[in-house]
Amino acid sequence: MPPEDPREELLDLRCVGPATADVLAAADVDAAAVESKAVSHADLVEAGVNPGVAARIRREHSLQWSFEGGQDLDRRAEQVRGLHDEEREWVAASYGADDAEADGSGGAAAEEAAWQDRDPSGGGSEAETDTAERDEAAWRDRSWPNGDDSDEAASDEREWREQSTPTPITALDGVDEEAAELLSRAGVTSVRSLATAHVEHVADSLEVPAERVAAWKDAARSAEQFTR
């Protein structure tokens, strides 16, 4: 029986078309390398595959972004920055446990969570820190479940919840319900997460023009700066 044509084997893979098969065959990347996850997204792009097509192949076959851990850590930290807990979990799940363990970036979400939990003021004098801690302790002493049902405690709780509620992206000009539903598929559900999103990654995952995502991100960043 004649040996299988490497190009034909590549064409049997999902998300690999004739042009991509030609590029991979010329670079000596065979179907077995993709199926065994011996190549990364960066390897595909370096071989000459279109970055958008490489991203789809990566998702379909659960490939790593890169075998160089530093690049993946920077990429993950940038994507996770500003997301809420549910969105961070979505990002982590989208990469897969094997990916997170292999590139050493599994702790990126935990480190980012710790970064977000720090004092938003960025530090300050010991007196300022003590004052902030006393205010926080006083708020906790007044609030449920410590037994204080006063109107003041309830008001403080409502105020705290209002400040903690993320702003929906439909509050932005140019982002309607249809666009919001589309962005939610990429885990972008708030103005903060849109303002810190990676344009190319979101565009690739949603298969929309990067310019469109960039315009949405600019609107979100302007809104974030206005509210600070």
In the predicted model, what is the mean pLDDT of the chain?
A: 72
HEC-encoded secondary structure of the chain: CCCCCHHHHHHCCCCCCHHHHHHHHHCCCCHHHHHCCCCCHHHHHHHCCCHHHHHHHHHHHCCCCCCCHHHHHHHHHHHHCCCCHHHHHHHHHHHCHHHHHHCCCCCHHHHHHHHHCCCCCCCCCHHHHHHHHHHHHHHHHHCCCCCCCCHHHHHHHHHHHHHHCCCEHHHCCCCCHHHHHHHHCCCCCEHHHHHCCCHHHHHHHHCCCHHHHHHHHHHHHHHHHHHC
Give 159 or 224, the one with higher predicted confidence: 224
More reliable by pLDDT, 78 or 197: 197
Digit-coded pLDDT (tens) for 29-88: 999 999 999 999 999 999 999 988 999 999 999 999 988 754 444 455 444 444 445 555
Predicted model pTM? 0.34
